[in-house]
Chains A and B, each alone.
Chain A
Amino acid sequence: MQNVASHEDWRVCFSQVGPGLVLFARQWVRSRADAEDIVQEAFVRFWRRNHNIGNRALLYATVRSIALDLIRRDSRRARREAEALSGSDQVVEPQFELADDAQNALAAAVDRLPHEQREVLVMKVWNELTFAEIASALGISQNTAASRYRYALAALKKSVQPK
């Protein structure tokens, strides 16, 4: 079977999934530049190995793996960054385009979710992966993926409800 996608296919694929993939990678790194580096490495790896670009579960698993490798490799740097960012006047680049205060609150609530819920949420909402694809990428069952998603939504619903 022909597995080599054309350059144009890759460009189209990237324009569709690029922003969501960078958002996905941002869960592990603070800066957008680092997240983009991770996504770039994932795409290059896919391109070099002639993987099928339609295999989104593998693409996300690749991003996740590269991000985790980066964290392990740069743990000291990450610690220094965390210490530097612990000051009160830190500026963290926004992960979302925010239009109003309500969206700001929702984005902050997303950021406060437990990591395993947030990664499922990001894959499902902004990357439109199926639970089967999420399960495959994360090495969990579909039921676990679905329940993490529901827990995330429940937590967000609770946090944005007016008190």
Chain B
Amino acid sequence: MNDFAEIENELKKLGPAPLSDGFPARLEQAMADQNPRENNIIRPNRLRVNWAAVGFGLAAAAVFVLLARVRMDRTPEQRERIAQNSPVAQTRSTLSDQFIPAGATQVVYDTRDEGLHFANGSEEPIRRVRYQTQETLRWHNPGTGASLRVSYPSEEVVFIPISGQ
């Protein structure tokens, strides 16, 4: 037997206060003033952003910047070597300084559904989901055997449109 059956019955006996006399008519008038067909145009979903693609793009940009820095940091040293070493040694040195991307991982360690929202006065409801992830990018230098790993936390907020069907 439900322990709370009695209190539930008591609660159900409490009826919500009646609506104002003119409220149903006012509501009907407000709805009549709206023509749903005029507003029934299916607009492109302004809030649909492919966050995965954005995140991947940012990760790729970060890899590019890191690689560029790795190479630029070596440039003065290479120039000195050009002046001091033979061309054969130079070729070997250049090849050995190449860091090659070896992989990237994204681990989602928390997902939080933040409920339905109406963003910026929009009339279309959206569900906001927050993902917390740890992203790791790895590079490997086959010439020297060195490896480089960058790991950082990230957070993504994804807006999922609700069709209302």
Contact = CB atoms under 8 A, between A and B. Distances in A.
A116 to B, nearest CB: 12
Nearest to A149: B4
A163 interface: no
Given A139-B113, A139-B116, A153-B7, A19 B30 contact: no
Given A40-B30, A139-B115, A49 B124 contact: yes
A52 B164 CA distance: 6
Interface of A: 1, 3-4, 7, 10-11, 14-15, 18-20, 22-23, 32-33, 36, 39-40, 43-45, 47-52, 55, 58, 61-62, 65-66, 69, 93-99, 102-103, 106-107, 110, 121, 125-126, 136-140, 150, 153-154, 156-157, 160
Given A19-B18, A69-B118, A43 B27 contact: yes
A99 B24 CA distance: 25
Interface string B3-40: 11011101111111111100110111011001010011
Contacts of A22: 16-17, 19
A18 B123 contact: no
Q: A-B pairs with the 6 shortest C-beta distances? A: A139-B115, A51-B164, A61-B116, A23-B16, A19-B16, A153-B4
B118 A40 contact: no
10 contacts: A1-B165, A61-B125, A62-B118, A97-B15, A99-B13, A102-B10, A106-B11, A139-B113, A156-B11, A157-B7
